[in-house]
């Protein structure tokens, strides 16, 4: 059959292109085979990506074994942990769009027949998947795998505890020596940070949505099984190519619903909402925020991984992984087992022999942590287009509460007040002008949430922002408030002392301020000047959509 790559390898007119392939050492025999892009985000600045060179080589070996010609190409990636708390975090979410656009450019410009995506961390995973469904060619995603948990004072721990230790040190609750103990031991090696943070959430959801092979979300980076998985991914892409199974055959309205159900059962990062919305947008799938609550209402939460609990990704893997979770959901027909996946088989075939091996890591569906899912979308006058909270990481006493607003126009102003001890029980820290447009870039704000947790205030203080919270955040951290302040949202009109009511069970967040008072404030309100005046972020701020639409570029 004709191949897309024939456009660069066949015919007299393509002799110049072939000569350039020969310049790189390719042979005629290699150019006669399907050309498979292997897009790797390997770098030496992201712990989850330092091993991706080995993953990509294993993928290439699998492609060759199955009769294809693999061709390696790069993608960028930002380490959210290193970028956290300074201007670098403004670039994290926008980088998702750059990744999607650059993958599209590389694949179309060079006429590839199929692609294996090799990401691992936060925005890199959804960025690559967005490109795949945009292009609709055969695609397999294989990540670099999660980091093992660290060990501090005899207890398993992870990056979220490191950030919380900073808050504890600022409050003189631990010593410099104790802080150093965390610093040296929470991240013991390569891989995506070991809790159910954004990177691992998205790698698990790639498995749930079907675009990655079983095990993609949970096999640790340091285990040989990760290399074996990469080889199988290389073989799988040739199977998909031969059967002409493309990205949109796998990612569709029903498989997105499967992913959301797994999201709720696993207790994934709030960022998964942004990314699933963006992937759905690129795939032409009609998904909005109401679907998340609809699925959450009937999907029990089965896992409490860090930061919600004390288990980590290797525990989830040893307990049966994403497949065991999906098997539990299938018992109550909460997922569609008929859908095709990257294995070339259906969801049902993939999970047929899966089972829970450790109920401390995955609870049976008959005995869940809660009858509802791990995430909840909230609505009210401060978020008429929605806000999101990781309900599985909220203390029971904060599920329904009233708080007094402490309002800040930037993360820096809020964190300064927290560190100086100015936030007290009963407050809600409101951080605005940190949305997609106002940030710009919709920063994750792990520093303030972790500082409060480290100061033992996470059970008495809430947070509300039009920005984002890290998957490592816990507590009543309510993000993505939409419309954002920079777009005229009511969050921009809140004042110190306003009373804000929260009822997570009822999906409700509302300021006890009258419409008349808000209109009065709006008349007198002056928005701060844009924080970024030029460069890529300035362009991003002008074209980015609301968080309720996945913060995609319009």
Task: Tokens for 418, please give them.
Answer: 């927290």
**Which of helix, strand or coil describes residue 284?**
coil
DSSP 366: T
State the Cα–Cα distance between residues 289 and 116, nearest whole angstrom.
30
State the Cα–Cα distance between residues 97 and 342, nearest whole angstrom.
24
Of the candidates 143, 470, 473, 547, the residue annotated as catalytic is: 470
DSSP 392: G
Active site residue 410: no
Neighbour count for residue 285 (Cβ, 10 Å):
19
Whether the CB-CB separation of 375 and 388 falls below 8 Å is answered with: yes
Q: What share of the chain is helix, strand, coil (3-state, %, to 5)?
A: 45, 15, 40
Whether the CB-CB separation of 113 and 4 falls below 8 Å is answered with: yes
DSSP 46: -
CA distances from 548 to 273, 311, 334, 377, 378 (A): 9, 31, 24, 10, 12
Q: What is the 3-state secondary structure (H, E, C) of 80-102?
A: HHHHCCCHHHHHHHHHHHHHHHH
State the Cα–Cα distance between residues 458 and 461, nearest whole angstrom.
6
Q: What is the signed CA dihedral for 35, 41, 44, 49, rounded to 10 degrees?
A: -110
Could you tell me how many helices (H) and strands (E) the chain has, helices first? 22, 14
CB contact burial 98-119 (16+ within 10 A = b; e otherwise) = bbbebbbebbeebbbbbbbbbb
Catalytic site residues?
Answer: 470
């Amino acid at each position: 059959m004709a191949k897309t790559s024939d456009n660069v390898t066949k015919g007299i007119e393509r002799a110049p292109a072939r000569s350039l392939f020969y310049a790189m050492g390719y042979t005629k025999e290699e150019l006669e085979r399907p050309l498979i892009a292997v897009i790797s985000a390997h770098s030496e600045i992201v712990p989850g990506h330092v091993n991706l060179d080995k993953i990509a080589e294993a993928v290439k070996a699998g492609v060759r074994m199955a009769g294809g010609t693999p061709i390696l190409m790069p993608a960028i990636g930002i380490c959210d942990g290193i970028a956290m708390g300074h201007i670098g975090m403004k670039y994290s979410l926008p980088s998702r769009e750059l990744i999607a656009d650059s993958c599209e450019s590389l694949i179309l410009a060079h006429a590839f027949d199929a692609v294996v995506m090799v990401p691992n961390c936060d925005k890199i995973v959804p960025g690559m998947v967005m490109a795949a469904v945009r292009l609709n060619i055969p695609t397999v995603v294989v990540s670099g795998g999660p980091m093992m948990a660290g060990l501090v004072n005899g207890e398993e721990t992870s990056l979220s505890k490191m950030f919380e230790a900073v808050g504890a040190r600022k409050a003189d609750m631990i010593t410099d020596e104790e802080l150093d103990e965390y610093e040296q031991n929470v991240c013991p090696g390569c891989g995506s940070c070991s809790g159910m943070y954004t990177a691992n959430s998205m790698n698990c959801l790639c498995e749930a949505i079907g675009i990655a092979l079983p095990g993609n979300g949970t096999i640790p980076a340091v285990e040989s099984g990760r290399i074996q998985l990469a080889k199988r991914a290389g073989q799988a892409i040739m199977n998909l190519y031969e059967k002409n199974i493309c990205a949109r055959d796998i990612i569709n309205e029903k498989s997105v619903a499967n992913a959301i159900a797994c999201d709720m059962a696993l207790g994934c990062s709030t960022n998964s909402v942004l990314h699933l919305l963006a992937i759905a947008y690129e795939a032409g799938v009609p998904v909005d925020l109401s679907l998340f609550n609809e699925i959450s209402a009937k999907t029990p939460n089965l896992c409490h991984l860090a930061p919600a609990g004390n288990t980590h990704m290797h525990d989830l893997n040893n307990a049966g992984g994403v497949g065991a979770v999906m098997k539990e959901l299938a018992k109550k027909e909460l997922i569609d087992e008929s859908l095709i996946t990257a294995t070339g088989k259906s969801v049902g075939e993939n999970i047929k022999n899966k089972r829970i091996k450790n109920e401390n890591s995955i609870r049976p569906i008959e005995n869940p942590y809660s009858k509802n899912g791990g995430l909840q979308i909230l609505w009210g006058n401060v978020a008429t287009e929605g806000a999101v909270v990781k309900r599985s990481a909220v203390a029971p006493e904060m599920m329904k509460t009233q708080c007094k607003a402490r309002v800040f126009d930037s993360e820096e102003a809020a964190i300064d007040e927290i560190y100086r001890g100015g936030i007290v029980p009963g407050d809600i820290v409101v951080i605005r002008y940190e949305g997609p447009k106002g940030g710009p870039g919709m920063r994750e704000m792990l520093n303030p949430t972790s500082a409060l947790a480290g100061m033992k205030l996470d059970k008495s203080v809430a947070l509300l922002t039009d920005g984002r919270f890290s998957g490592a955040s816990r507590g009543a951290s309510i993000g993505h408030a939409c419309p954002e302040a920079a777009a005229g949202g009511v969050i921009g009109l809140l004042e110190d002392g306003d009373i804000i009511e929260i009822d997570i069970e009822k999906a409700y967040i509302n300021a006890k301020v009258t419409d008349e008072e808000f209109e009065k404030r709006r008349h007198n309100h002056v928005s701060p000047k844009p924080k970024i005046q030029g460069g890529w972020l300035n362009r991003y701020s002008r074209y980015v959509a609301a968080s309720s639409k996945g913060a995609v570029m319009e």
